[in-house]
Amino acid sequence: MKHYLTINDIDSLPKWVEEARIIKENPYHFQNLGKNKTLCLLFFNNSLRTRLSTQKAALHLGIQVMTMNFGKEGWTLEFGEGTVMNQGTSEHIKEAAHVVSQYCDILAIRAFAGLKNKEKDEAEEILNGFVKYASIPIVNMESSTAHPLQALADAITLAEHRPKSRLKVVLSWAPHPKALPHAVANSFVKMMKLQDAEFVITHPEGYELDSKITQGCQIEHNQDKALQNADFVYVKNWSSYSDYGKVFHQDASWMMTQEKLGNAQFMHCLPVRRNVVVEDTVLDGPKSLVIEQANNRTFAAQIVLKKLLESL
Ligand code: CP
């Protein structure tokens, strides 16, 4: 594997999940693998889990870590070819990517969707700019369209808690006051397509995700119907994709409640707005897996870094 940009960069999800679970039992087993190696984390957006879990994963492997809040502290990057840089941008991605490649062995990047221009977001200019001009492996720590470290952690969490016989997983949209990107939902859908499970996506009309990603998935606009007999309910807000970045409504009836959840286990990538996305009773109850999902972010990052180190 050259880079980890999407969940589809994984050659075998079941094998990776199994290996991650073994690593979780003995996180320092490969502590010499990353000796004299450096990981650089560039954040163009805020983070709690991604930043700390990726650093923790690197520490388990003996990798040195450098972190920069590029969005707040770095030079404003230019991506255009042949641009006369006499306006707001200070440094071209070409130089930035080459320079960073000299300082580290693996580069991880977080750069969210702006949600103003679909074409620009889908071009993933920051992530792909570094992929194009850097000479080292790149890890996607959530880009405009994908959050593959989260999806891998979610796959580990599902494997740890799945019932032996059958599996029904529901991805449910939930209300939120702000316009949120599609990255987590996109990667979760892609990951679920690699699972042996019944998978249903439920959302109000107008919140259809990219049909290229949901192609072949069951979509049900009646949330109650979708939730019937669910084993896992993954809740996430996203803004409109067709009317790009718009928030049509914040219909509180879509909030996840204990009554709706029934016996299913609750999943969310965090951070989550309590009593808007999901009620307290669910988050504080025994069926919530959110803290375990966050813990598994470390082992998802660790297996990705291990694979990249092995192929350096
Ligand atoms: N789930 C997730 O990526 O969390 P952070 O935004 O805090 O990193």
Pocket test for ligand 1, best of 178, 267, 270, 298 (most atoms within 8 A of CB): 270
Q: Give the residue, by CA position, lying nearest to ligand 1 atom 1.
A: 269
Instruction: Determine the pLDDT at residue 140.
Output: 98
pLDDT value at residue 194 = 97
Q: 35 among the known binding-site residues? A: no
Task: Kindly report the three-state secondary structure assignment for every residue of 133-182.
Answer: HCCCCEEECCCCCCCHHHHHHHHHHHHHHCCCCCCEEEEEECCCCCCCCC
Instruction: Classify the complex by whether its ipTM is higher than 0.90, answering yes or no.
Output: yes
Tell me the pLDDT of the chain averaged across its residues: 97
27 is in an annotated binding site: no
Which atom of ligand 1 is nearest the CA belonging to 141? 3
Dihedral angle at the C-alpha atoms of 6, 137, 129, 187, nearest 10 degrees?
A: 10
- Please tell me whether residue 93 adopts helix, strand or coil conformation: helix
What's the CA-to-centroid distance between 270 and ligand 1, angstroms? Answer: 6
| Structural tokens at position 144 | 């405009």
User: Is 7-146+296-311 a domain of CATH 3.40.50.1370?
Assistant: yes
Query: Residue 271: is the preceding peptide bond cis (ω within 30°)?
Result: yes
Residue 21 labeled ligand binder = no
**Structure confidence at residue 163 (pLDDT):** 81
Sheet with 168-173: list strands edge to edge. 218-220, 198-202, 168-173, 232-236, 265-267
Domain covering 148-293 assigned CATH 3.40.50.1370 in the classification? yes
pTM value is 0.98
Domain with CATH 3.40.50.1370 in the chain: 7-146+296-311, 148-293
pLDDT of residue 246: 97
